[in-house]
Amino acid sequence: MTNLRPIVLVAVCLSWAGSATAQISLTPPAAQTPASKPAAPKPKPPAPKPPVAAKKPAVVPPAPSATPTPATSTPTGDANVDLVYGAYQRGQYKTAFDLASQRAQDNNDPKAMTMLGELYANGMGVKRDYAKAVEWYQRAAERGDREGMFALAMLRLSDRGNTGNHSEGAKWLASSAKLGNPKAAYNLALLYLDGQTFPQDIKRAAELLRVAADAGNPEAQYALATFYKEGTGVEKNVEKSVRLLQAASLADNVDAEVEYAIALYNGTGTPKNEVAAVALLRKAARQNSPIAQNRLARVLVSGQGAPLDKVEGLKWHIVAKTAGKGDLMLDEVLAQATPEDRSKAQDAARKWLGANK
């Protein structure tokens, strides 16, 4: 079943310095900060009040995502539960609702209750009703279902449908994390970094991030990579940081892909591998990361790490600049390009932007 998205993707400051042996710096100029990972992030104000950022690293938990997608448990071997799950997976939400209702009534099944909360919260097979979603999540949580606890916590913390109760949400989040739910551990870490619900505790946040990272949560892996890079809450270890970036990038975390690519290109905490680095930059650029687009442009216009291709490089520069990731050096290259190359790059950029609106 769908995973409940965490409170929000952690905003982590990761700007790797280029190594002395790198032929081209993939680090942005000092005056230009990455669009998606600013050195001094300005957090979106969460409900009910704005967060307080930890000084190092700059990790800020903004507001919950706009659309709730509460998590339900995967099949456990019970044939009846599997029927509910199967109907849900096939998009047969009315059938899932009817089956789950029967299971909840006849067997007091907490997983069926969590499913009912899921369906009510998202308006699947039934009219959306946050109050009823909370009721079913609550019943599942009180019967020990960690996914129900997590989903209830997320609704309470987000106040969707006037269901907010921050202290209760934090309590259920902690209970779910204690039962080993990696999503709950990640979001609980954000609360300890926030310092609003609990006293700020970077070491405790690091412990929770490690639990979530070890369970394969890519956002936690990415955030914990920053902790190891900075030596915040853990002993500084660049190699561990890069390994976590690698794991998160393998899980398609775009920000991690960019940072791991830069580490590979510069040989920071990992053997230098420009070919692999450029391949990752291309992947992230196609996923609309302005930072990746900018770094890829630098590589292509210089021909260092990839075959020289000024038109393609300038295309990515124009695309990145449109997203707010400017670069004076690349502006100069564009200005000095032949009219033909400049026109080709601009046309290619327009085509890309038009196709990715």
Distance CA 39, CA 352 (A): 28
Length of the chain: 357
Q: Which domain holds residue 288?
A: 282-357
Q: Is 349 a domain residue?
A: yes
pLDDT at 60: 34
User: For 79-93, 203-217, 223-237, which range has the lowest pLDDT when averaged over its residues?
Assistant: 79-93
Residue 48 has pLDDT above 50, yes or no: no
* Per-residue pLDDT at 40 exceeds 70: no
Domain-embedded: residue 355: yes
Note the pLDDT of residue 51: 26
Helices (H), the chain: 79-89, 93-107, 110-122, 130-142, 146-158, 166-178, 182-194, 202-214, 218-230, 238-250, 254-266, 274-286, 290-302, 310-322, 328-336, 339-355
Note the pLDDT of residue 81: 55
Gap between the terminal Cα atoms of the chain? 29
Q: Is the per-residue pLDDT at 14 higher than 90? A: no
Tens-digit pLDDT profile for residues 119-164: 999 999 999 999 999 999 999 999 999 999 999 999 999 988 888 8
For residue 333, is pLDDT > 80?
yes
Q: What would the mean pLDDT of 197-207 be, rounded to a whole number?
A: 94
Which one has a higher pLDDT value, 221 or 31?
221
Q: Looking at the domain assignment, is residue 272 inside a domain?
A: no
Answer whether residue 254 is part of any domain: no
For residue 100 the two structure tokens come to: 């789950």
283: left (phi over 0), alpha (psi -120 to 50) or beta: alpha
The pLDDT of residue 169 is 94
Residue 299 lies in a domain: yes
Residues 72 and 133: their CA atoms lie apart, in Å, by 12
Specify whether the backbone of 77 is left (phi greater than 0), alpha (psi in -120 to 50) or beta: left
Cα separation, 172 vs 182, whole angstroms: 14
Give the residue-averaged pLDDT of 196-202: 92
Closest of 73, 41, 72, 70 to residue 54, by C-alpha:
41
pLDDT band (50, 70, 90) for residue 58: very low
Q: What's the pLDDT score for residue 161? A: 80
- Per-residue pLDDT reduced to its tens digit, 278-321: 999 999 999 999 999 999 999 999 999 899 999 999 999 999 99
The rounded distance, in Å, linking the Cα atoms of 339 and 277 is 31
Residue 356: inside a domain: yes
User: How many domains, the chain?
Assistant: 1
Tokens representing 67? 């659309």
Least confident window among 26-30, 82-86, 147-151:
26-30
Residues of the chain above pLDDT 90, percent: 71
Structural domain contains residue 28: no
Decide if 198 is inside a domain.
no
Residue 11, beta-bridge partner list = 60
| Cα→Cα distances 68→5, 44, 80, 166, Å | 8, 18, 26, 16
Calculate the CA 215 to chain-centre distance. 15
Residue 119: burial class (beta carbons within 10 Å; 0-12, 13-18, 19+): buried
Q: Alpha-carbon distance 215 to 73, whole Å?
A: 16
Which residues is 315 bridged to in the sheet? none
